[in-house]
DNA sequence: ACCCGGTTACTTGACATCATGAAATATTCA
DNA sequence: TGAATATTTCATGATGTCAAGTAACCGGGT
């Protein structure tokens, strides 16, 4: 409330919105890690398992989705494989490729993880349906989703 | 207020919004890490340095802000101290306490980091002022900021 | 005043995970 | 055959937790 009329460079309002987004990011992360920990998973393991719960993927594609090095994915898949949540399959079309796939148990854990993600309920509960629609459209536009 | 046609439990629209928020979170994180890397900092170092650029803090409070164990903060401050971006000072009021404070150079880096955070511009650039206002209000409400 | 036990602040050490990069191996493709 | 691709292994460093250790504060009770 200090500077009403001054035109700052990145502008006051934008800064506040960025700050709010920062808070949302922090909270989202916290709750995600927390939900993962309840299933004895790390954040990285939970993200990878969630991806695989939809469809099997080659290691290379996993690395692209997670934006990290393939050698890193090797380790994460190793740990999940040890626990029987993920398995490696050969790709019949290319013998260089290994497909990582969630096991039945892995899919079960992924579903349970998804359900325990409180973020889907609490923060959005305070918004009416119309407000959620507005928020959806604004977020879409922010992310450059073609309307 | 009521659900449209299908009465899913977490409801379709909410799921989409949560998903969009997930994308925002991913993008924010990516760009934050990228901006940090441009200054030869890791994400954790950048967050800690940003906190200290505002005011010196005891190690214990840093751990609370960063939501991690104090022993972890010791290491991060060690690395920043080695690079001359942070220093430890005694707390005159309590000799158990060590205050971590950004050096001049540390504050300079923190400022530069803040400036290079593209997230403040690009994604919000597509929104009109009115839309940004709406987004601010919705985010505030989501985060439970008392209106 | 004194000491004493409990608490707090920080560090250290051991250990697991995550992340990168370089090198090795196997396979595909032109 | 030779270049490119997919994966793994290894070395290294940062992050994170937990348990144990040291130093300092604090609030009695005598």
Domain assignments of chain B as residue spans, ordered by start: 24-116
A72-93 pLDDT, tens digit per residue, is: 999 999 999 999 999 999 999 9
The SS3 assignment for B94 reads strand
Q: Which nucleotide is nearest to B41 (CA to C1')?
A: D14
Quick one: pLDDT band at residue A121, thresholds 50, 70, 90? low
A116-125, B13-22, B75-84 — most confident range: B75-84
Q: Which nucleotide is nearest to B70 (CA to C1')?
A: C10
Positions of chain C reached by protein Cβ under 7 A: 8-14, 17-23, 26-29
Between B73 and A27, the more confident residue is B73
Are B18 and A119 an interchain contact pair (Cβ–Cβ within 8 Å)? yes
Q: Would you state the pLDDT for residue B1?
A: 45
Short-list A133, A4, A14, CA closest to B129: A14
pLDDT at B3 over 60: no
Q: Which of A14, A23, A29 sits opposite B124 (nearest CB)?
A: A14
% of chain A with per-residue pLDDT over 90: 66
Measuring alpha carbon to C1', the residue closest to nucleotide D5 is: A96
Are B20 and A133 an interchain contact pair (Cβ–Cβ within 8 Å)? no
Quick one: pLDDT band at residue A143, thresholds 50, 70, 90? confident
Q: How many A×B Cβ pairs under 8 Å? A: 118
What is the CB-side half-sphere exposure of residue A132 using CA atoms within 13 A?
Answer: 23
Instruction: Name residues whose C-beta falls within 8 Å of residue A79's C-beta, 6 or more positions apart in sequence.
Output: A45
Q: Would you state the pLDDT for residue A18?
A: 86
Between A147 and A92, the more confident residue is A92
Short-list A58, A124, A126, A62, CA closest to A91: A58
Q: Would you state the pLDDT for residue B118?
A: 67
Between A3 and B71, the more confident residue is B71
B76-119 pLDDT, tens digit per residue, is: 999 999 999 999 999 999 999 999 999 999 999 999 999 888 66
Instruction: Report the topology of domain A31-116.
Output: Arc Repressor Mutant, subunit A (1.10.10)
Q: State the CATH class of domain B24-116.
A: mainly alpha
Lowest mean pLDDT among A133-137, B6-10, B87-91, B103-107: B6-10
Are B119 and A16 an interchain contact pair (Cβ–Cβ within 8 Å)? no
The separation, in Å, between residue B77 CA and nucleotide C4 C1' comes to 35
CB under 7 Å from any atom of strand C: which residues? Answer: A 42-45, 66-69, 71-72, 75-76, 79, 94-96; B 58-61, 70-71, 73-75, 77-78, 88, 91, 94, 96-99
Residues in chain B within 8 Å Cβ distance of A21: 24, 28, 119, 139
Measuring alpha carbon to C1', the residue closest to nucleotide C19 is: A72
Question: What are the tokens at B146?
Answer: 């008392």
pLDDT at A120 over 80: no
Query: What is the rounded average pLDDT for all residues in chain B?
Result: 89
Rounded to an integer, the average pLDDT of A36-44 is 96
Q: Which of A132, A133, A138 sits opposite B135 (nearest CB)?
A: A138
Q: Would you state the pLDDT for residue B11?
A: 79
Q: How far apart are CA B59 and CA B99, in angstroms?
A: 6
Residues in chain A within 8 Å Cβ distance of B119: 18, 21
pLDDT at B37 over 90: yes
Q: Which of A20, A67, A139 sits opposite B20 (nearest CB)?
A: A139
């Amino acid at each position: 409330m200090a500077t009403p009329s001054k035109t700052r460079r990145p502008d006051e309002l934008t800064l506040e919105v960025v700050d709010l987004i920062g808070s949302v990011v922090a909270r989202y992360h916290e709750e995600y890690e927390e939900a993962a920990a309840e299933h004895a998973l790390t954040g990285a393991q939970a993200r990878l398992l969630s991806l695989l719960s939809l469809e099997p993927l080659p290691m290379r594609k996993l690395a692209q989705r997670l934006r990290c090095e393939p050698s890193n994915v090797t380790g994460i898949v190793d740990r999940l494989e040890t626990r029987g949540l993920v398995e490696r399959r050969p790709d019949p079309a290319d013998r260089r490729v290994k497909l990582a796939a969630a096991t039945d148990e892995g899919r079960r854990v992924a579903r349970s993880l998804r359900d325990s993600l409180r973020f889907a309920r609490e923060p959005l509960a305070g918004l009416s349906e119309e407000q959620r629609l507005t928020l959806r459209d604004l977020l879409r536009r922010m992310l450059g989703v073609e309307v």
